[in-house]
Structure 1
Amino acid sequence: MNLELTIEDARWQGLEPLATRAIQAVLDYCDLDADLCEISLLACDDARIADLNAEFREKPTPTNVLSWPAEDLAADKAGQRPTLPMPDFTGEIALGDIAISFDTCASEAADADKSMDDHVTHLIVHGTLHLLGYDHIRDPDATLMEGLEVEILGKMGIDDPYNI
């Protein structure tokens, strides 16, 4: 897989192997050839992600993760799986961009008494699923997406993040 990682916040130590493993797990689950797939990941802080959230979602507050799919793959009918992406004329599959904030991730992990690595892995799985057309706006879509997250994370040895 081609992972273009930009680290803007030095606290993001050891992110590359964690991100690679999380993305690989999603691509394997979706039966996509990781060697063809391309993702950009921005590792930033709350100030930067708040700016991005304001610019792209008109929500001027920090969040944990944002995703920008390269193409709209969403299913038309709620609760259905999205269309899988196809390689472009170069033979690659550009999936899109993800941004993740250290501050919010660390705060959420501490609040939930979870390891930072497990929480970040969950959020990268979540962001990658967004790049593949999954969403959680409609209830049936949320159920599908959360179920996939739990299954993928379970295969990685990470507990259900929604089991509170």
Structure 2
Amino acid sequence: EYKEEFEKRGLEFFYTLIDDAVARVIRSKGGFIWACKNYDGDVMSDMVSTAFGSLAMMTSVLVSPDGKYEYEAAHGTVTRHYYKYLKGEETSTNPMATIFAWSGALRKRGEMDSLPGLVNFGNKLEEACFQTLNEGIVTKDLAGLMEGVTPQPKTSAGFIAAIRERLEKLLA
């Protein structure tokens, strides 16, 4: 039903199997929209993110046909780290996908309710995250993936504190 409109806009639609889609994504340089059912999206995002180093860096936005949005981290829980946390042990769990799920949700809520301050907060939170990463401040899972900067691995709490410090400066 959308064929004519797609052609007018220069868009190509085709159906493919999940394994082919993952291979195409890994080989691509972007420039496409990847629409899929929730389960397929979960499987595909897990495979693709692992190929690029860390599942903890991917967020997901689910959009319903009636225009509702759900922002989420594209990965599951890190049970092993949670049990360590419950015992009072230090962890180095990467919270980026969760933070970006929140920043995206806050920004969308701000757009929907015409609240520019909330949109700005979402943008600044993401900017603080990028600043932190670009300075080499990371959790242990990312330390081996850093290029062009000397990694400074932190615990979960230390990493979040570094993001907060930069966010406070951006919001001042």
| Shorter-chain TM-score above 0.5 | no
- TM-score, structure 2 normalization: 0.30
> Which has more radius of gyration?
2
Instruction: Name which structure has the greater RCO, CA cutoff 8 Å, separation 6+.
Output: 1
Higher strand residue share: 1
- TM-score, structure 1 normalization: 0.30
Higher helix residue share: 2
